[in-house]
Structure formats: structure tokens, C-alpha cells
Amino acid sequence: MKIIVDGMGGDNAPVETVKGTVDAVNEYDIDAIIVGKEQLIKEELNKYNYSTEKIQILNAENVISNDDDPALAIRRNKNSSLVVGLNALKDGLGDGFISAGSTGALLAGGLFIIKRIQGIDRAALTSVYPTSNGISLLVDAGANADCKPEYLRQFALMGTIYIENVLGKKNPKVGLVNIGTEEGKGNQLVKEAYELIKNENLNFVGNVEGRSLPLGEVDVIVCDGFVGNVVLKLTEGMAITIFSILKEAFMSNTKTKIGASLLKPELSEIKKLMDYREYGGAPLLGTELPIVKAHGSSDAYAIKNGIKQLISFIEKDIIKIIKNSLKQNITKMEE
């Protein structure tokens, strides 16, 4: 298996992207192509020990930044690491692509260069969502700010396939984010989506309120990309805020400092639960080839975990399973 890595994407590129790739190549049985400025990548690679035949460099002179207009950047910046990398994926040079660069540009590139699976209207950004009960999967985490009910049905389907096959949750519970648990609640979008998802062959448990998300009451959290992005960032923000308030309180005097020191291992364990770096990346679901978005502020550890997720995505042949499930649906509808 060969992974294509955007060496220049993200806040800590190329230092951390290269290190993360080397770590992944050393730890997992894979080869890698790192896309980016050859000289820079080479300098970074020279710092590490690895089987040199396992990592190639694919030169790309430019970088797409978060400030660039995504669709425009994809069309015009042909020499960017992101576009060169996605074209390499399309041409079969590797089996999957990972980038910590601009989310918008990666999405646009996924659609324009790699294309959508036939029968899927929108590709979704899928994020692992840490809960007190393990992990859930959030679809859509921000790719599609405006959705139609049918998109949400497809998110439910793809999310179920992903969590079942990659994360090994059998018969995952699907919940629709809503403002009440009763059927018939919500805005027009979720009311209609409810009816569509209900009729799917999924373990749909109905509506789920914001309150229940951190408790892990459902495995697949379905919502439009606007709500999903707010949910994801608010969850992160709440964790950061509460821990920073705690930290301040714990450092306030000698007594609290002693108390905090006695709790240190437990506190570290809890913080780790909420650390995005543990989960590595957000797979794009709905494109013809496997793509994973790594967090913009990824360090080497996060990149390595993102690559690990990409490896599962490829190995479990998620895209084929999605296609088959769509075929079954079409057959069912024709019967």
C-alpha cells in the first residue's frame, strides 16, 4: 500500500508532516509519497532513519493557504502540493491521500479532481467525536453548510458503513441532531430527513439532542455541515475552556497545588480522551478514492494517526462497500 501525503499542508508543515510520515512508514507496513518542495522535504527526511526506498518525493512548488478561495485555488494553483497530490491519487500513483491543509480546498479538490461516487450527492467530512462512552462519528462535520434532506440520508448511510468497518462498531446507532427527541421536532430539513432515514435499513434511533452527544448515546451523529461544524468546535471549545478554568483553580494556592498533583495521572488520562491528535483525521466520505483531512494544527503524532486511519479506510475498502450499498438500494427501489 502506498499513501500520498500533502507535505506542505497545515500549520506545522513540512516539519511535522514529514516526521509523521516517517513514523507511519516505520511503524506500519506502507510506502509513502510526500508532495511538496523537494529541497525542503529532503532536508526534513535527512533527519530521520527509515528505509529510503519506502518514501518518494513528488515535487510541488506552491502551497494553497487557508485564505485562498478553495474552488479558485484548485483550478488555478495546479502546482500546489494539494493539487499535485490529488492528481497523483487520481493517476493511481498511490492508494489514498492525506492533507492537513485548507479544508475547503481539499473538499473542492476531492470533488473536481477525484469526483463523487455515482449516487452520492455530496461528499461529507466525517469526524471522530470523543464521548464519555468511547467514540462516535459525526457526519457532516463542515463540508456542506446548506443541505437537502437526501444528503442527510446519505450521510447516515456512509457514516454507518465507515464506523462499522473501520472502527468496528457493530450495528451502530444512528441519531439525527435535533432540538427535541420526539418525531416531528425540528426545522424543515431535519423533519424531512427523519422520514428518509427512518425508511433506510439502518439502526436509526431517532432524534438526538445536543445534551446527549457527549454521552455517546448514538454512534453516528447525523447533521448538516453547519450544525456539525458548530457541534465539533463547541465541543472542543468547552473541553479547552473547562480544563483551563480547572488548571487556573488548581494553581491558585499551595493546598490546591498539592490536590492537583495527587490527581495528575487521572487528569492526563481524561485530557487524552478529548485530544483530537489521538484520532488523527477526518475521512472524506463520498469521493471515488480515499481522502483524509488531518487537523490544521496537526503535529507528527496526529499525522501518523491520520495515516493509520487512511490505511484502514483503504484496507476495509469502504468506497466499494458504499457503492454496493447504493446498488442494493437501487435494486430495492426497482423491485
The reply to whether 193 sits near its own copies by the rule CB under 8 A is no
The reply to whether 107 sits near its own copies by the rule CB under 8 A is no
The reply to whether 234 sits near its own copies by the rule CB under 8 A is yes
The reply to whether 210 sits near its own copies by the rule CB under 8 A is yes
The reply to whether 85 sits near its own copies by the rule CB under 8 A is no
Of residues 38, 121, 192, 209, which one binds its own copies by CB under 8 A?
Answer: 209
In DSSP terms, 112 is beta-bridged to: none
Q: How far is the CB of 101 from its own copies (least distance, A)?
A: 15
8 Å CB contact between 31 and 333: no
d(CA 94, CA 92): 5
The reply to whether 249 sits near its own copies by the rule CB under 8 A is yes
Of residues 116, 250, 325, 329, which one binds its own copies by CB under 8 A?
Answer: 250
The reply to whether 332 sits near its own copies by the rule CB under 8 A is no
Strand order in the sheet with 291-294: 55-59, 31-36, 2-6, 96-99, 291-294, 281-285, 124-131, 134-139, 220-222, 174-177, 204-208
Interface characters, 149-188, with its own copies (x: CB under 8 A): ----------------------------x-x------xxx
The reply to whether 258 sits near its own copies by the rule CB under 8 A is yes
The reply to whether 132 sits near its own copies by the rule CB under 8 A is yes
Q: How far is the CB of 114 from its own copies (least distance, A)?
A: 23
8 Å CB contact between 50 and 25: yes
The reply to whether 218 sits near its own copies by the rule CB under 8 A is no
Q: Which residues bind its own copies (CB under 8 A)?
A: 131-132, 142, 145-146, 177, 179, 186-188, 190, 209-215, 224-227, 229-242, 244-246, 249-250, 252, 255-256, 258-263, 266-267, 269-270, 273
